[in-house]
Amino acid sequence: MSAVRIQVSACALSATVNHLRYRPNYVVSTSRFNNHFSFRPLRVSMSSVPPSEPLEIAVKASLTTPSKLGDCPFTQRVLLTLEEKHLPYETKLVDLRNKPEWFLEISPEGKVPVINIDGKWVPDSDVITQILEEKYPSPPLVTPPEKATVGSKIFSTFIGFLKSKDPNDGTEQALLDELSIFNDYLKENGPFINGKDISAADLSLGPKLYHLEIVLGHYKKWAVPDSLNFLKSYLKDIFSRESFINTRALPEDVIEGWRPKVEG
């Protein structure tokens, strides 16, 4: 089962990439004959034009609606990168409750996302987005190192609050503290993490905030305080982007996806 989304690139034909930071990239190598897998370096060549064929990417299928994208903020991060870079891609929906053999051959650990780049299946959203940035540098999405961790503690404090059964254990305040820090940062540096232009850090944080808003609203009857007005504007800006609308999971899928953590 697969769904296709193809976009024509609007990439410029040249870009300055002196600010890119390179590190070894790795690709999973599998064998259908001996059922073993290993990781080996993947060589990446820069390109100023999009691929002639859509990039294949295995993603989680919806739990509630046939032929729809499922809930996975890490997959959405990769899809947002593809969208913002105007790269054509084809999603291959995977039922993670009943993983097909073809999927386990390309992802032995059974995790998404996994993308086919130059004939090699590459796992891990961190690795995938770095490769996409290096291979297709225009438009640039690199976040400067000193800003790359802004907002990075929000997701873990959100999970702590979500799973909490004790209203007095401090998990809600821990989340509010992190959201307030991010709000103050945006006040001085926004509207996005890297200023006026969206960057990789936003594409990583945005899907997590989308899950936060839906899940805490449903299970905790909780919402981001109106007093955090710069954060509220940030959410509006991110969630209304065409790239986000094209790649977001259905709210009911986000709710169902988090149910085990809440009820477990």
Q: Is residue 108 within 8 Å of residue 28, measured between CB atoms?
A: yes
Q: How far apart are CA 223 and CA 245, in angstroms?
A: 21
The tokens 């300055």 sit on which residue?
Answer: 16
Q: Give 125's contacts (C-beta < 8 A, 6+ positions apart).
A: 74, 75, 77, 78, 113, 204
Q: Is residue 131 within 8 Å of residue 25, measured between CB atoms?
A: yes
Q: How far apart are CA 257 and CA 212, in angstroms?
A: 12
The tokens 């993947």 sit on which residue?
Answer: 42
- Specify whether 72 is catalytic: yes
Please give the structure tokens belonging to residue 70.
């499922």
Q: Which of 72, 93, 94, 231 is catalytic?
A: 72
Kind and range of the H or E run holding 105: helix 101-106
Kind and range of the H or E run holding 121: strand 120-123
Q: Active-site residue numbers?
A: 72
